[in-house]
Amino acid sequence: MRPFAAPPPGTAGCPEPPPLSGVAAASLLPLAELVPAMSAPCRMHPSVDLIGAGLAGWARETGLEAPPRAGFERMAGRAFAGFGVEAALLFAKWLTWLFHFDDEWDEKPAGRAAEIVETAFARLDLVARAPGHASSPVEVAFADLWKITAGRMSTRWRHRFLAGLAAQGEACRTEAENRCAGRVPSPAEYPRLRRGTAGPYLFDLVEPCLGVEVPAGLRESTTWRTLVDACNDVTAWCNDVASHHKERANGDVHNYVTVAATAFGLSDGAAVTWVNDRIAVRAEDLRISARRLPALFDRFELSTGQAREVSKVACAFLAAPRAQLEWLLESSRYDVP
């Protein structure tokens, strides 16, 4: 049976973290008891300060506004603690871009206009195919990242990324229509919708950051698909718990806590508990999928070297929930003044 190889261990002597914000994400703390994988602190990349400086310089060059104490370099630094500076920095740049882009729909009037959503995503697809058409800061930053990222990967991977971008566009359009209609999604439909708005391509980006491309057959297997989707769900739903008060203040109903409270007549506290329980179940799906990988490697006849490379991608998914939890506890992004 092929090994499920963990990435190399991190380095001691990492920088001290900033003080906990402790406001928006405090409701996620029970997950440390519910989910064993979220109980142990993450390692931090030993060069996190260098990554942060590189990220800040890139944001200035491309014209993106980086909110104070957003700390995207720290999220990336945890998820890619055992890898090189370049891997963590590239992922931190994509996180910065994604959250900046996401705010266009969550916090501004554009999030209620389906035609604006369609135009914005059509523009990104155009920029991906013809970078010279980039104009706004978000498009310029996307063009820069796409040039670096796509050049490392196959045509198949590039098509997969663009399909994920289109899926996010469809999900954001649905949210815009819901906002206009005053409609709250049902608990049955929300997970798939949220998986779309989270940016499905974000999880594909682990591969170019690590210089690995998961074989197509393995990538489309039920086990690998569950691994990726479960990581998406856990991180997206944790984000929902942390951002619940801020999104409610903004009048946005696209939050799993709001969905549960509306559907089942729950108080805020009870709805948070309900969502945390769903997160724990999905985290177990993530763990089980990872344990099935060695047998899957054998089935697809991966060499020991291939299995080791693909395992690096899987390990990043396994590290993501705790990495995000610690980031949410540090970041002031979702605090309500």
pLDDT in tens, 80-89: 999 999 999 9
Euclidean distance between CA atoms 106 and 96, whole angstroms: 15
Mean per-residue pLDDT over the chain, rounded: 90
SS3 assignment, position 170: helix
**pLDDT bucket at 21, cuts 50 / 70 / 90:** very low
Task: Work out the average pLDDT over 183-196.
Answer: 97
> Would you say residue 107 lies in a domain?
yes
Euclidean distance between CA atoms 48 and 330, whole angstroms: 15
Quote the number of domains for the chain: 1
pLDDT of residue 235: 97
Q: What is the pLDDT of residues 49-60, one digit of tens each?
A: 999 999 999 999
Residue listed under structure tokens 């990872």 = 290
> Would you say residue 281 lies in a domain?
yes
> Would you say residue 9 lies in a domain?
no
* Residue 101: domain span: 26-330
Burial class (CB in 10 A: 0-12, 13-18, 19+), 253: middle
> Would you say residue 153 lies in a domain?
yes
> Would you say residue 109 lies in a domain?
yes
Please, what is the end-to-end C-alpha distance for the chain in angstroms? 53
Measured CA distances, 196 to 168, 190, 200, 229, 291 (Å): 5, 10, 6, 10, 26
By C-alpha distance, which of 196, 198, 187 is closest to 274?
187
The enclosing domain of 237 has a CATH number of: 1.10.600.10
> Would you say residue 1 lies in a domain?
no
Euclidean distance between CA atoms 207 and 219, whole angstroms: 11
Euclidean distance between CA atoms 332 and 67, whole angstroms: 9
> Would you say residue 20 lies in a domain?
no
Whether pLDDT at 69 is above 70: yes
Whether pLDDT at 116 is above 50: yes
- Helix (H) or strand (E) run with residue 156 in it: helix 155-181
Query: How far from chain centre, in Å, is Cα 303?
Result: 29
Amino acid 64 reads: L
By C-alpha distance, which of 268, 201, 270, 278 is closest to 238?
278
**Residue 12 or residue 316, greater confidence:** 316
Whether pLDDT at 18 is above 70: no
> Would you say residue 10 lies in a domain?
no
